[in-house]
Amino acid sequence: MSGDESVASGRAVFPTRRAAAERNRDKILAAARSAFADGDTGISMAEVARRAGIGMATLYRNYPGRRELLEALYADEVDALCEAAVVAPGQTPGAALREWLRRQFDFIPHKRLIVSELLEYTGEGSVPSRRAQALDAGRPLLSAAQESGEIRTDLALEQIFDMIVAIARVHGSPDYLRPMLETLLDGLGVPTGQGRPGPP
The CA distance from 163 to 181, in Å, is 9
What is the domain range of residue 1?
1-64
Cα(110)–Cα(130) distance, integer angstroms:
14
Does 54 share its domain with 71?
no
N-terminal to C-terminal alpha carbon distance within the chain: 69
For residue 148, the model assigns a pLDDT of: 96
Cα 81 versus chain centre, distance: 3
Identify whether residues 86 and 59 lie together within a single domain.
no
Q: Cα 141 to the chain's mean position, in Å?
A: 16
Residues 138 and 71 in one domain: yes
- Whether residues 183 and 111 share a domain: the answer is yes
Whether residue 128 is found in the same domain as residue 146: yes
Here the CATH number for the domain that contains residue 109 is 1.10.357.10
Other C-beta atoms closer than 10 Å to the C-beta of 161 total 17
Q: Count structural domains, the chain.
A: 2
Residue 167: how many CB atoms within 10 A of its CB? Answer: 16
> Are residues 4 and 60 both part of a single domain?
yes
Q: Nearest to residue 186, comparing CAs of 64, 98, 76, 56?
A: 98
pLDDT of residue 130: 86
- Report the pLDDT value the prediction gives residue 5, as an integer from 0 to 100: 46
177 lies in the same domain as 83: yes
Contacts of 56 (CB under 8 A, 6+ apart): 45, 46, 49
Do 47 and 120 share a domain, yes or no? no
Residue 40: predicted pLDDT: 64
Residues 48 and 73 in one domain: no
pLDDT at 80: 93
- Measured CA to CA, the distance from residue 80 to residue 73 in angstroms comes to 10
pLDDT at position 193, please?
Answer: 60
Q: Would residue 198 count as lying in a domain?
A: no
Asked if residue 88 and residue 115 are part of one domain, the reply reads yes
**DSSP secondary structure code for residue 170 in this structure:** S
Residue 200 in any domain: the answer is no
Q: Is the dihedral of CA 99, 135, 37, 173 positive or negative?
A: negative
Q: 64, 84, 117: which is the final residue of a domain?
A: 64
Give me the average pLDDT of each 10-residue run along the chain (200 residues). Answer: 47 68 91 78 84 93 90 92 95 97 92 82 68 94 97 96 95 95 96 55
- Does 43 lie in the same domain as 22? yes
Q: Which residues of 42-75 are buried (b: 16+ CB within 10 A; e: fewer)?
A: ebebeebbebbebeeebbeebbeebeebbbbbbe
pLDDT at 86: 96
Residues 180 and 167 in one domain: yes
